[in-house]
């Protein structure tokens, strides 16, 4: 744990922020340190950089310095500014130690005086945690029940410019002893921020921080710490030479709104790109050093929102009167649908702002003629479970790529001898060409689609009726495959049997997922 400083291997897996480091690790640190506080162990280059930073007259806070020398131990960040300063002093030689502890030291930095973060990393951890708790409580979250959250930071772009300026100035002071290279760059501000405050926020909320990619853990609460600082906004204008880098994005839509409002946001990526592409000399020539003192610290707003929750499962539809979605072209608005019945059960549990229902392909309203039964829906809801984003993607694609099985009751215009059905039973992997059916022509573009009927099995009911089981490629128009759609689907069941055929009932029996 003490080796964290400067060692890239120590970067926490899955991008976790301040959540690491339990009580056992703290003990280990204390025992090894023997002084009851974590020890800072720095590689030589980091020590040199620290010395350069400490010899500058401009004030810089202890956490900004830790980030600059790539310390990733959350236990160190959890200490107060004074304690961190003393840890830094302990890690240096005698001369460095004296410089560190002097009253005029760069580290003797009052809140808001840090030339890099302007106070962002100097707040009291308890205070920041309380602000987060208050924002969550106001938004109606139960902070006492276990939950996972993601902590993100939106910082004024002037801080990023200040990081570069400060770092280049420190290197200048090394007289060339420390070269500029990509490997030498500091830890990103958002990570330093999480290392500083994440741990305490977790304790105050009894929530768990989780910074992993959004795909795997839907349903987290996203807490965004948004800092604004108009006073230093001019630095960005100087950097970008007045070029506009605003971009617009749509806010989350409010209840009753069709679309969210368009808002202008800072394009921070453009700022990073310019900073990254600039030589130290070019950047330093653009700005005066040290930056002008500020009269007011950046202002914090805590924003909270919950990421989408995905719930998946399979359903069996037992009624021909219940469609998949509440609106159906043939029947208009329906009172009951799979969508409304399921959402009615789920909505009280999650109280969502909006819901979306996604089925694997679409099916017609007519299903099995078994009476609809509310207990069935309850049984079905109990089978539902939270799923990841990848499940949703597989549902989307399965509508086009997977196999479906159907059972149809078919009528024929001519009486069929039992042996005639063998024509169908012997078919395998039948390629079917379907022009857009007449019944959907008004909403689908005219095109010919090739689909495969993998398997058919016909069972005679009497001279004019038979049951047909089909396994087809998703997207096959079954009704048209049976009656031929006036020659628009070739071949068809009617065509194969040399008579007219029509479909009387159709059930979806299964969908491959």
Question: Is residue 171 part of the contact set for Zn ion (CB under 5 A)?
Answer: no
Question: Is residue 121 part of the contact set for Zn ion (CB under 5 A)?
Answer: yes
User: Which DSSP symbol is given to 325?
Assistant: S
In whole angstroms, how close is the CB of 377 to Zn ion at the nearest point? Answer: 56
Segment near Zn ion (CB under 5 A), from 90-98, 107-115, 154-162, 203-211? 107-115
Residue with smaller CB distance to Zn ion, 53 or 338: 53
In whole angstroms, how close is the CB of 252 to Zn ion at the nearest point? Answer: 32
- Which residue shows structure tokens 């070019």? 282
Host H or E run for residue 90 = helix 81-91
Segment near Zn ion (CB under 5 A), from 119-127, 239-247, 476-484, 497-505? 119-127
# binding residues, Zn ion (CB under 5 A)? 6
Question: Is residue 170 part of the contact set for Zn ion (CB under 5 A)?
Answer: no
Please enumerate in sequence order all residues whose Cβ is within 8 A of that of 234, keeping only pairs 6 or more positions apart, or say none.
none
Question: Is residue 78 part of the contact set for Zn ion (CB under 5 A)?
Answer: no
In whole angstroms, how close is the CB of 106 to Zn ion at the nearest point? Answer: 11
Q: Give the residue from 117, 73, 432 showing the smallest Cα distance to 291.
A: 117
Is residue 385 classed as helix, strand or coil in its secondary structure? strand
Question: Which residues face 151 on adjacent strands?
Answer: 223
Residue with smaller CB distance to Zn ion, 64 or 456: 64
In whole angstroms, how close is the CB of 183 to Zn ion at the nearest point? Answer: 23
In whole angstroms, how close is the CB of 35 to Zn ion at the nearest point? Answer: 25
Host H or E run for residue 33 = helix 23-33
Residue with smaller CB distance to Zn ion, 64 or 468: 64
**First vs last C-alpha separation in the chain:** 45
Token pair, residue 35, equals 């002084």
Are 505 and 409 in contact, with CB atoms under 8 Å apart? yes
Residue with smaller CB distance to Zn ion, 121 or 209: 121
Residue with smaller CB distance to Zn ion, 52 or 61: 61
Residue with smaller CB distance to Zn ion, 87 or 337: 87
Residue with smaller CB distance to Zn ion, 61 or 416: 61
In whole angstroms, how close is the CB of 53 to Zn ion at the nearest point? Answer: 11
Question: Is residue 117 part of the contact set for Zn ion (CB under 5 A)?
Answer: yes
CA distance linking residue 431 with residue 403, whole number of Å: 14
Question: Is residue 64 part of the contact set for Zn ion (CB under 5 A)?
Answer: yes
- Tell me which residues in 379-418 interact with Zn ion (CB under 5 A): none
Residue with smaller CB distance to Zn ion, 117 or 270: 117
Sign, CA dihedral 356-358-362-363, equals negative
3-state secondary structure 113-169: CCCCCCCCCCCCHHHHHHHHHHHHHHCCCCCCCCCEEEEEEECCHHHHHHHHHHHHH
In whole angstroms, how close is the CB of 107 to Zn ion at the nearest point? Answer: 10
Are 417 and 439 in contact, with CB atoms under 8 Å apart? no
Query: Torsion angle, CA of 46/50/51/55, rounded to 10 degrees?
Result: 160
Residue with smaller CB distance to Zn ion, 106 or 322: 106
Segment near Zn ion (CB under 5 A), from 61-69, 89-97, 350-358, 408-416? 61-69
Residue with smaller CB distance to Zn ion, 64 or 338: 64
- Tell me which residues in 335-364 interact with Zn ion (CB under 5 A): none
For strands 148-154 and 208-209, give the pairing: parallel
- Tell me which residues in 35-54 interact with Zn ion (CB under 5 A): none
Question: Which residues face 404 on adjacent strands?
Answer: 472, 511
Segment near Zn ion (CB under 5 A), from 115-123, 159-167, 289-297, 487-495? 115-123
In whole angstroms, how close is the CB of 109 to Zn ion at the nearest point? Answer: 7
Question: Is residue 114 part of the contact set for Zn ion (CB under 5 A)?
Answer: yes
Q: Provide the b/e sequence for 20-32 (b: ≥16 CB within 10 Å).
A: bbeeeebeebeee
Segment near Zn ion (CB under 5 A), from 25-33, 56-64, 196-204, 239-247? 56-64
Residue 279, class by beta-carbon neighbours within 10 Å (0-12 exposed, 13-18 middle, 19+ buried)?
exposed
CA distance linking residue 511 with residue 386, whole number of Å: 20
In whole angstroms, how close is the CB of 196 to Zn ion at the nearest point? Answer: 10
Which listed residue (4, 39, 49, 61) binds Zn ion by CB under 5 A? Answer: 61
Segment near Zn ion (CB under 5 A), from 108-116, 195-203, 242-250, 274-282? 108-116
In whole angstroms, how close is the CB of 111 to Zn ion at the nearest point? Answer: 10
Segment near Zn ion (CB under 5 A), from 109-117, 242-250, 307-315, 441-449? 109-117
Phi, psi at 158, each rounded to 5°: -60, -30
Residue with smaller CB distance to Zn ion, 84 or 456: 84
In whole angstroms, how close is the CB of 50 to Zn ion at the nearest point? Answer: 14
In whole angstroms, how close is the CB of 474 to Zn ion at the nearest point? Answer: 57
Question: Is residue 68 part of the contact set for Zn ion (CB under 5 A)?
Answer: no
- Which residue shows structure tokens 């906004």? 233
112: left (phi over 0), alpha (psi -120 to 50) or beta: left
Give the CA distances from residue 215 to residues 19, 211, 310, 324, 389, in Å, rounded to whole numbers and listed in that order: 20, 11, 11, 27, 5
CA distance linking residue 106 with residue 89, whole number of Å: 12
Residue with smaller CB distance to Zn ion, 87 or 489: 87
Question: Is residue 85 part of the contact set for Zn ion (CB under 5 A)?
Answer: no
Residue with smaller CB distance to Zn ion, 163 or 398: 163
CA distance linking residue 364 with residue 374, whole number of Å: 21
Per CB under 5 A, residues contacting Zn ion are: 61, 64, 114, 116-117, 121
């Amino acid at each position: 744990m003490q080796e964290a400083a400067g060692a890239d291997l120590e970067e926490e897996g899955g991008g976790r922020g301040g959540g690491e480091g339990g009580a056992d690790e703290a003990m280990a640190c204390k025992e090894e340190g023997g002084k009851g506080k974590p020890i800072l162990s720095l590689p030589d280059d980091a020590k040199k950089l620290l010395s350069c930073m400490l010899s500058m007259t401009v004030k810089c806070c202890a956490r900004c310095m830790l980030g600059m020398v790539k310390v990733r131990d959350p236990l160190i960040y959890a200490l107060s500014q004074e304690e961190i300063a003393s840890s830094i002093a302990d890690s240096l030689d005698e001369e460095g130690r004296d410089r560190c502890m002097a009253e005029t030291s760069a580290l003797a930095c009052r809140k808001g005086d840090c030339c890099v973060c302007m106070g962002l990393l100097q707040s009291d951890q308890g205070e920041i945690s309380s602000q987060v708790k208050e924002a969550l409580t106001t938004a109606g979250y139960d902070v006492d029940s276990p939950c996972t959250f993601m902590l993100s930071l939106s910082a004024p772009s002037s801080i990023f410019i200040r990081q570069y300026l400060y770092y280049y100035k420190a290197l200048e002071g090394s007289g060339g002893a420390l070269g500029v290279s990509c490997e030498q760059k500091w830890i990103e501000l958002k990570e330093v921020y999480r290392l500083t405050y994440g741990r305490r926020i977790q304790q105050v909320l009894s929530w768990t921080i989780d910074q992993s990619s959004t795909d795997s853990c839907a349903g987290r609460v996203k807490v965004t710490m948004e800092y604004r600082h108009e006073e230093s906004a001019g630095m960005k204008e100087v950097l970008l030479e007045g070029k506009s880098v605003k971009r617009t994005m749509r806010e989350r839509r409010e209840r009753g709104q069709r679309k969210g409002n368009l808002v202008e946001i800072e394009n921070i990526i453009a700022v990073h790109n310019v900073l990254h592409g600039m030589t130290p000399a070019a950047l330093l020539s653009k700005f005066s050093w040290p930056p002008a003192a500020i009269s007011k610290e950046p202002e914090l707003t805590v924003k909270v929102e919950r990421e989408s929750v995905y719930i998946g499962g399979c359903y069996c539809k037992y009624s021909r009167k219940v469609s998949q979605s509440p609106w159906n072209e043939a029947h208009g608005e329906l009172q009951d649908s799979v969508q409304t019945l399921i959402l009615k059960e789920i909505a009280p549990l999650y109280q969502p702002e909006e819901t979306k229902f996604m089925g694997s392909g679409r099916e017609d309203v007519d299903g099995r003629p078994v009476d609809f039964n509310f207990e069935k829906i309850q049984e079905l809801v109990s089978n539902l479970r939270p799923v990841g984003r990848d499940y949703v993607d597989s549902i989307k694609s399965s509508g086009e790529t997977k196999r479906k099985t159907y059972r149809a009751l078919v009528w024929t215009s001519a009486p069929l001898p039992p042996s005639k059905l063998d024509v169908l039973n012997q078919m395998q992997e039948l390629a079917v060409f379907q022009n857009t059916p007449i019944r959907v022509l008004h909403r689908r573009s005219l095109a010919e689609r090739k689909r495969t009927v993998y398997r058919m099995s016909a069972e005679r009911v009497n001279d004019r009726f038979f049951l047909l089981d089909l396994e087809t490629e998703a997207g096959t128009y079954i009704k048209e495959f049976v009656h031929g759609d006036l020659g628009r689907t070739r071949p068809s069941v009617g065509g194969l049997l040399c008579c007219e055929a029509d479909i009387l009932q159709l059930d979806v029996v299964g969908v491959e997922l």
